[in-house]
C-alpha cells in the first residue's frame, strides 16, 4: 500500500501544479499560493495516512486465550 500513498501524493501535487498554472492571470499570487499550500498539505496528510494505516505488517491473528 506504500505505492498507493506515493501515487496519491503525486496526483494531488500534479493537480496543485495545474491549478496554480490555470489561475495565473485571474487570481492574485497570494491566493494561488494559499491554494497550492492547501492542496499539497492535503496530499501529504493523505499520503501519510495511507502509508501508516494501510494494514501492512498488522497485528496478526488474535491469540486464543484459555
What pLDDT shows up at residue 64?
A: 72
* Total domains, the chain: 1
Q: Determine the pLDDT at residue 6.
A: 80
**Integer Cα distance of 4 and 37 in angstroms:** 21
Tell whether 10 is covered by a domain. Answer: yes
Residue 65 lies in a domain: no
How many CA atoms does the CB half-sphere of 56 hold within 13 Å? 10
Classify residue 64: in a domain, yes or no: no
Is residue 61 situated within a structural domain? Answer: no
**9 found inside a domain:** yes
Whether the per-residue pLDDT at 62 is higher than 80: the answer is no
Structural domain for 29, as ranges: 2-52
The predicted pLDDT at position 66 comes to 66
Is the residue at 26 inside a domain?
Answer: yes
At 11-49, the pLDDT tens digits run: 888 888 888 888 777 778 888 888 888 888 888 888 888
Amino acid at each position: 500500500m506504500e505505492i498507493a500513498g506515493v501515487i496519491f501524493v503525486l496526483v494531488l501535487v500534479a493537480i496543485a501544479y495545474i491549478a496554480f498554472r490555470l489561475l495565473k492571470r485571474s487570481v492574485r499570487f497570494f491566493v494561488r499560493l494559499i491554494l497550492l499550500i492547501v492542496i499539497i498539505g492535503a496530499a501529504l496528510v493523505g499520503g501519510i495516512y495511507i502509508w501508516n494505516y494501510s494494514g501492512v505488517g498488522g497485528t496478526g491473528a488474535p491469540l486464543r486465550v484459555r
